[in-house]
Amino acid sequence: MNDASIRFIAVGHAGAQILSGLRARSGSPLECAHADTSPESLRISPIDRKITLGLSVSHGLGAGGDPEIGRLSAESDLSSIHEFTQGARLVFVITGLGGGTGSGAAPVIARAAREFGALVLVIATTPFDFERRRLQYAQEALDRLRVSADAVLAISNQRVRRMHDDRTHPHELYQFANELLAQTLQGLWRLLNAPGLIPLDFAHIERLLRGRHAESAFAAVQATGENRAHAAAEQLLTHPFLDTGSALASAKEVLVSVAGGDDLQIGEVERLIEALQGRCPTAEFIVGASIDPALTGHIHVTAITTRPAASAPNPLIGSGFARNDPVPTSTGNQAGIQRSVPIVFNGEDFNREPEPRGTTDSRFIPPPPELNIEQRQRILSGQRNKPSRRRPDSQMIMNFDIAQRGRFDNTERNRHKGVDLDVPTYLRLGIVLN
């Protein structure tokens, strides 16, 4: 696949850090851009192509942690996004969720790239558990990304936290998470660009991911030594991005790309795939192998898995998964009709069709019957003749009965479900005014 057909766009400061790690690893130029609402973040960014979002919205002050500002900023500069992604077959959107720019702008940018026909893969980090508000923003952003992109990989900072002790500096945790993501991105990039020993190209990835109503997860590992194939398989089976092996166990399809140097042997590829197939015997495997002289003595394995959405855990608790919800297409309509994402809060699905109520469970109170002139006069007469407990100097009882409607006599009366709303409420309900 031509390098120019792959574009990488970092959204926000966190995305730029991850993408910078990939550029340092790649060893060849990549088509990269950094989109941000903060001019200061763009100024210090090592990425050459810079896209300023929403100067007319935020006036150069950034999103301020507000996803709505991030969304409006991205929508105000869609032309710049379209210009960068036009002609790309594969677009990686890389971001950190929970803040204003990543959570608000990333779904807009992913949708814009997809509108031009590109396969869009989102790589994202999610906040720590103690970041309550940022977690909420991240969840809402994931819901939007699930319908904007073809696949989403989310790694939780909280999951990375559990892999370290309490004395670890937060900066080290961020660096570790970014390194994992950069390693995975490097594996995907090599998968598409290295010469094939067992051919595996973009069409395989597109068939695996585009329009699939499934979960998507990615992982990349590297091993050396005599038993490097076995070691690589063990790393994949315990990889945090693959939910420590459960992603493979429930996978519907698995794409595996094996890269090695001139010393790569077909037997190594065979043993590695057999080890993975033992964990997911019912999954369909798509296997490719490539030669990269720089990997002599090493074996590098990239795995992409899909599985039914119902079997995937919440990505915010560190599973490394984000759901790719259905985007069904109608006959004769390539764009398709996007189904809304199920929104669940406190255990309730707000997109669920309401259950029909039985008539015996209804709380509807039927209106009181209309009163004729004679009945109304009787009620008023009873009011006048009723002994009053008020002091002698209390205000007299007013007669509010309406004999004529003035200029409205020739107009239709206001009725709702058989109730004449022109009759005062106290008369319709038979209320005695003291």
With CA atoms as reference, report the closest residue to 139 among 123, 152, 126, 155: 126
Domain 195-315 has CATH 3.30.1330.20: yes
pLDDT given for residue 360 in this prediction: 42
Count CB atoms within 10 A of the CB of residue 243.
24
Domain ranges of the chain: 1-193+324-354, 195-315, 373-428
What would the pLDDT profile of 123-171 be if each residue is shown by its tens digit? Answer: 898 988 888 899 999 999 998 998 888 888 888 888 788 778 788 888 8
pLDDT digits (tens, 9 = 90+) for 403-427: 556 666 667 777 776 777 777 776 7
Dist CA 380 CA 387 (whole Å): 13
Q: Is the Cβ–Cβ distance between 154 and 97 less than 8 Å?
A: yes
pLDDT tops 60 at residue 399? no
Q: Does 265 have pLDDT greater than 80?
A: yes
Instruction: Give the whole-angstrom CA distance, residue 167 versus residue 242.
Output: 26
Token pair 């309406």 in the structure block, residue: 402
pTM confidence score: 0.66
Mind listing the pLDDT tens digit for each residue in 186-242? Answer: 777 777 776 667 777 777 778 777 766 456 777 888 999 889 999 999 999 888 778
CA distance 123 to 37: 19
Secondary-structure class of domain 1-193+324-354 per CATH: alpha beta
- Average pLDDT (301-321) is 60
